[in-house]
Amino acid sequence: MTKTPIGRKLGQKVKKGKLKASSRRWLERHINDPYVQRAKLEGYRARAAFKLLEIDEKHQILKGARRIIDLGAAPGSWSQIAAKVTGSTEEDIRVAAIDFLEMAPIPGVKILQLDFLDPTAPDKLMEAVGGTPDLVVSDMAAPTTGHQKTDHLRTMHLCEVAAHFAVEVLAEGGHFLAKTFQGGTERELLSMLKQNFRQVLHIKPASSRSESVEMFLLAKGFKGRRPQAADASNDAEAEPAAERHEVLPE
């Protein structure tokens, strides 16, 4: 599916010096990564751009999107794609991005340097995007502590908060995409998404490194918000969404 671009020759070694062996191996892997090279050639800020593009090629989540919210956006490759597909401009902002890290400006993207867990973040994002979004994407991951279980739980919490945000703001028919981990999506979260979307699935794109435990949770076809008074009586009758796992081929 993805061809190695013409550019830096693959298989380069990093000279031994003051770098630790583990750091040297990481650097070698990074500079020899065809997706890193391709991102540079195509003007994307990070290789993560191809994760979104591969998922969209199969599932068409960007098609027809008029407004997009990007959570955990730094360094901004997903926002670059979002601005292009929505036709967002400085005069007509259609993409809002948030991250606690600083991001260089992107034409057509309103960037908020703020923790998404800040209580003011949801309202600021909706004000920034200028209307009802058709797509909410999240590449958020909690800063690592070095304790694997703790890091996993913190990132899964971000996924859950992002999902509830999406249900609160999405236009009917809209989609939600978020980073998760293999085998880590909580049953309660999946149940909530199945009640609110027509299809729920886990995806491992080819551009996600094989050794990485990351996957992406995609909820397609938001059913729309129901009147609160009807929620209790309708929950039991809600049509369950389909769920499946897939691996996008190389």
User: Distances in Å between the alpha carbon of 61 and those of 127, 173, 175, 184?
Assistant: 23, 10, 7, 23
User: Distances in Å between the alpha carbon of 17 and those of 28, 158, 201?
Assistant: 13, 38, 45
Task: Give every CB contact of residue 158 below 8 A, 6+ residues apart in sequence.
Answer: 72, 116, 117, 138, 140, 141, 142
Task: Give every CB contact of residue 199 below 8 A, 6+ residues apart in sequence.
Answer: 218, 219, 220, 221, 241, 242, 243
Q: Is 217 left (phi over 0), alpha (psi -120 to 50) or beta?
A: beta
> Among 179, 194, 204, 220, which one carries the catalytic annotation?
179
User: Distances in Å between the alpha carbon of 224 and those of 105, 167, 197, 220?
Assistant: 33, 8, 8, 12
Q: Is 242 left (phi over 0), alpha (psi -120 to 50) or beta?
A: beta
Could you count the other beta carbons within 10 Å of the beta carbon of residue 6?
9
179 is known as an active-site residue: yes
Q: Which residues are catalytic?
A: 179
